[in-house]
Amino acid sequence: MNSGILVVAAQRELRRNLFDALDQAGYPQIYSARDVPHAAILLEGRPPLPPLQLLVIVLAGDAQQARHACEQLRHLPGAAETPLIVVLADEATFGPADLPPGIADWLSAWNISDELIPRWRRSLAPEGMRARVLPPVPEAMVEPDGYRFTFEEGEGEWLIVDAQSGRLLEVSPTVGRHSRIHVDQWQGLSLAQVLRFEGIAISQVLTEANRNWYPCQRKSAQGADTGQASVRRIRHAGRDALALMFRSDRADLRAEAALSLLSRIFASTSGVDAQSAAGRLLFDELGLDYLAVWSARHEGAEAPNQMLQLWSGEDVAWPPAQLQSSLQLVLAGKSILYRTDAKRLAPIDPLLQQLELAGFAGLPLYDERHTVLGAMLAGTRRGFGEMSIIEPVLRCAVARFAQMLELGRTREQGRAEGLVDALTGLPNRLLFNDRLETIIREATRNGECFAVLFVDLDRFKAINDTYGHAAGDQVLRTVTQRLCGSIRASDTVARYAGDEFTIVLRHIVKNDDVMRVAEKIVQVMETPLYLEDGTELQVTASMGLSFFPDDAGDAATLLKHADEAMYAAKHQGRNTFQIYEISPEYAQQHGMALKTRLRHAEGNGELRVVYQPQVNTETEDIVGMEALVRWEHPELGMISPAVFIPLAEETGLIVSIGEWVMRTACRQAKEWEQRYGLRLRLGVNLSAVQLMEPHLLDTVAAVLRDTGLDPTLLEMEVTESISIKEAPNLVENLNALHRLGCHIAIDDFGTGAASLDYLRRLPADRIKIDQSFVRNIGVDPDDEAIVRATIEMAHRLNRAVVAEGVEIEQHLQFLRTNGCDELQGYLFCRPLPPISFDKLLAERQRLLEGRAAELA
């Protein structure tokens, strides 16, 4: 009976790796937990019988912590007698010999994908055939038949060597299959005839037998295959022996190598001849003897056009395309795959007859409308390796060639229509503006964020004047390659005008991601550039950045702001980048105009409310949200709250704006409550001016009555910097709101001068630690101490704690370890417009319903 597998790992990445390894092996019922208490919650209500099939736990820390975790695990329902496999994390300070009794097997965290399933299968063998690892011995000694299942049924290459003579006793069937040398021909060979290690003596590898991986070459029918090997001690046929596992670097034999190959093929997006570079990679890494890429008949051409051809043999008389029957079939949309018997096609195809190919593949190149653009033919005289690996690689390569072919045709069409820059091959201003409008529409519909970069070369005119326009053209082409090589395939680079370039970085989560790209561009541009005559040039660039929707909601304003930020970078000394923002000087100079416009912002529909989720620290589930106001000025774009909130307070507009935000957010929260039933807490900020209002309670009560929101779901956030003296009605108003049922939170805690007496006098339910402290976790020990002390103090006063500005995993782990209750920040989600927040809640509900269906 399939009764389930339990995986326990604090590290999210390892938890995912374990789940994927078990899931890909076909085991459907997998419980994935962060720790033992979380596992207990997952298993709650599960009948005690039948027991779990397998327990897997990742251990870090010291041996005592490991023993305690294993003991806790055994007390879970159905886990007392279940096989337990331990995964040792890199942070573990103990070795396998220190593991407690009762462990079925162990492995290192870096070896999960290769070793987890074989070791579990070994633990399922009959009692007399299991490897005895209770407790594990330091030499990792394994009993005689413990390796048989992995040896005979697994996909790994195993070589068994006599410990005394160093001669081969046996090799696994996979060795014969991959090397194309029959297993009978291996027996009796010395290991030195079979494996050649690089940078280390073979005697040292055998003596240590420490399971480390060392680069080497393994004998094959074609000479040798490169890869890595590891050695461990075993018992074989009653005597000491060594087991060597070899993993080839050939992309047609090992999935990891194939993935690496594909990543490099898809990374070849820049440069003049990306198609040749991708083809050469595929040809070399798969050990092909023949590769050709054809373009189908295009624009009235009588025959297909060969775009690429690679051949490892001597020159041959290539048959015309119309006589190559395999090519014609592929161009007609048919796929052809022969692993080792392609010679069957030789009588009907002169190409295969001449090349004597054993393995052959022909795959169509399709565009997004499934129209055949061309064909890829690939062949090898020795036959292909593992087709389960080869076929996906070839199909992904075909998709890449189709993408490049379609891009080339689009550029040709663009040049003909005046949409592509003739010098660089990039979209010109007209095409870029059109694409930016499309990107804005998609981002608005999907609730996404993106950045616009305006790049201007520093002192480019001097290059033209000194070295001539031909040198200037060479510089522009090189800059194009450097910019294209610094971004992802989903991003866009355009030559906007002269020495100006524009870039769109899509699907960003946090601004720091864009900063890293900008820093990368600055560094890449600093690399010396050499003209054709050998002259060395130092070409730098100044960049300006603006963000959608934070800085503007339309293309013209986004570009204007990025351009303004670029000039700010010029004024900073060039060779740098600046983010667009309305400077305090601008706000001061144009304060009256901004105040006037702000008076009409609400009525003109220029104000927006966005929502940032707050999550439970342990479960990472959404428990609340903070409503934040944004102002989209019709000319200036998005204006930072740090600029317009003080203006609103100064003019008294904050009272009406605050009421509008509260009413809008409460109405939206009520709608989500009815739709999803999550009872999410809604945080709304109150300014000092609002808190001094004598009718604040009446305003809040009216909003709650009109929108129908439960008062217990509304939380008023009061900044710590508001003093009781400055706001004489502060305590009375907050107590009245508390009696109404609302919650109270002290915002930006740690930045003001609040005392314990201040906290005691205010009816606060929650304290929000300011992001300036959270962002220094892992950087400043003093700020870490402040965060720890704040959490402890708040809990002593029976206040919950929310940490703002959580952006990286290190923040999460520190706050979880120190007992912070809730988290808010870009690690989980940036502030979202209502449509995007609704999608977030809908996706959460869909995942929970799917999980419930699986458990049912």
Question: pTM for the complete prediction?
Answer: 0.45
In the prediction, which pLDDT does 224 show? 82
Q: In sequence order, what are the residues at sequence separation of 6 or more whose Cβ sits closer than 8 angstroms to the Cβ of residue 73?
A: 8, 36, 39, 55, 57, 79, 84
DSSP readout, 315-350? Answer: ---PPPGGG-HHHHHHHTT--EEESS-GGGGGGG-H
> H or E stretch including 168?
strand 168-171
pLDDT, tens digit, 9 for 90 and up, residues 761-776: 778 889 898 888 888 8
Residues 431, 495: Cα–Cα separation, whole Å = 10
Q: In sequence order, what are the residues at sequence separation of 6 or more whose Cβ sits closer than 8 angstroms to the Cβ of residue 572?
A: 578
- Confirm if 743 and 623 have CB atoms less than 8 A apart: no
Q: What average pLDDT does range 534-558 have in this prediction? A: 86
Six-digit token string for 84: 């337990």
Can you say whether the dihedral through the CA atoms of 453, 833, 434, 633 is positive or negative? negative
* Residues counted in the chain: 856
- Confirm if 666 and 682 have CB atoms less than 8 A apart: yes
In the beta sheet, which residues pair with residue 292?
309, 377
Angle at 406 between CA 402 and CA 408, to 5 degrees: 120
DSSP β-ladder status, 5-8 and 54-59: parallel
In the prediction, which pLDDT does 743 show? 93
Banded model confidence at residue 144, pLDDT cuts 50, 70, 90: very low
In the prediction, which pLDDT does 134 show? 28
User: Does position 504 have pLDDT exceeding 90, yes or no?
Assistant: yes
pLDDT, tens digit, 9 for 90 and up, residues 718-761: 886 665 555 567 778 888 899 999 999 988 776 654 545 566 67
In the prediction, which pLDDT does 211 show? 80
DSSP readout, 70-138? Answer: HHHHHTSTT-SSS-EEEEE-TT--S-GGGSPTT--EEEEGGGHHHHHHHHHHHHTS-GGGS---SSPPT
**Residue ranges with strand state E in 416-471:** 450-457
Residues 840, 825: Cα–Cα separation, whole Å = 15
In the prediction, which pLDDT does 612 show? 92
In the prediction, which pLDDT does 607 show? 87
Q: In sequence order, what are the residues at sequence separation of 6 or more whose Cβ sits closer than 8 angstroms to the Cβ of residue 64?
A: none
Give burial (CB, 10 Å; 0-12/13-18/19+) of 535: exposed
Six-digit token string for 749: 């805690």
pLDDT, tens digit, 9 for 90 and up, residues 335-362: 999 988 888 888 889 998 889 898 999 9
In the prediction, which pLDDT does 130 show? 37
% of the chain exceeding 70 in pLDDT? 85
Mean pLDDT of the chain: 81
Q: What average pLDDT does range 39-50 have in this prediction? A: 63
Report which of residues 100 and 745 the model is more confident about: 745
Q: Which of 674, 751, 735 is nearest to 709 (CA)?
A: 674
Residues 678, 611: Cα–Cα separation, whole Å = 15
In the prediction, which pLDDT does 415 show? 55
- Confirm if 759 and 797 have CB atoms less than 8 A apart: yes
pLDDT, tens digit, 9 for 90 and up, residues 639-695: 777 778 888 888 888 888 999 999 999 999 999 999 888 899 999 998 888 888 888
In the prediction, which pLDDT does 136 show? 32
Can you say whether the dihedral through the CA atoms of 842, 843, 844, 846 is positive or negative? positive
Six-digit token string for 655: 């009272």
